[in-house]
Amino acid sequence: MTTGRLLRESNPVPGEKPGFVPQHGDGNGGYVETSPSNPLPTNDAVLQSKIDELQTKIDTIQADIAVLKNLLNSYLGG
């Protein structure tokens, strides 16, 4: 792997410029070949942490709503 450079095909058609093999960034400024044993990344750690943070906030709000509903029901005699 060469940092910062896309990989070229290793066995090009004679007389043709070598094409680029399927690849994706490795997160360190380099590229790695995409294959069934090394598929495209499908998880973004930053995005997942934001989703988890939002889920925590939603859970907190839902718990607060439940407390307020119980309070309201107790005041209304329900």
| Band of residue 20 on the pLDDT scale cut at 50, 70, 90 | confident
* Residue 21 neighbours by CB under 8 Å, 6+ apart: 7, 8, 9, 10, 33, 34
Residues counted in the chain: 78
User: Between residues 5 and 63, which one has the greater pLDDT?
Assistant: 63
Instruction: Indicate if the pLDDT at residue 1 is higher than 70.
Output: no
- The domains of the chain are located at 1-42, 43-78
Which tens digits make up the pLDDT trace of 24-48? 888 888 888 888 888 888 878 889 9
User: Between residues 6 and 57, which one has the greater pLDDT?
Assistant: 57
